[in-house]
Amino acid sequence: MIPDAIERTIAIDAPVERVWSVLTEPAFLGRWFGNGEPVKIDLHPGGLLIFDHGVHGVIPARIETVEPPRVFSWRWSQGAAGEEPDDNNATLVEFTLTEDDSTGGTRLTLVESGFARLGLSAAEVADRHRANSHNWPGKLELLRVDCEQTTA
């Protein structure tokens, strides 16, 4: 049975406001999650977020939640590149930021959920879950480094 969600938590040595900026501003978001170019983002629920993932193509996402500086989420297709997300092809990616009182930094929790509801074959769902599970640690590390080295 394929798990429905991926969850990762990282500690970032930067204040919540800086992490929020790196998480949501076009230039930063494109650097840690895209191909290095600024992303296109309409930062409000229902707005469109467009990532260019180079060899993986252009991936549109629909923004679900914007609660600065604590919660940011988007829904993105697990189907073909360029495919708009909908109820049958997309997972929800949610970032939650909390202050870490012991360090003065931020704890970022990522949850990507909805794999069990994808309208894809079991093999395709397993491939998507495996790939995303493998890729999130590297993306989160890029985000952490950007937060700790960049004034946002």
pLDDT, one tens digit per residue, over 4-63 is 999 999 999 999 999 999 999 999 999 898 888 889 999 999 999 998 877 778 889 999
At 150 the pLDDT is 56
pLDDT, one tens digit per residue, over 58-95 is 889 999 999 999 999 999 988 777 888 988 899 999 99
Report which secondary-structure segment, H or E, holds 29: helix 26-33
The CA distance from 65 to 37, in Å, is 23
In this prediction the pTM is 0.93
pLDDT, one tens digit per residue, over 95-147 is 999 999 888 999 999 999 999 999 888 999 999 999 999 999 999 999 999 99
- Starting at the edge strand found earlier in the chain, the sheet holding 48-52 runs 5-12, 105-113, 90-100, 71-77, 58-67, 48-52, 40-41
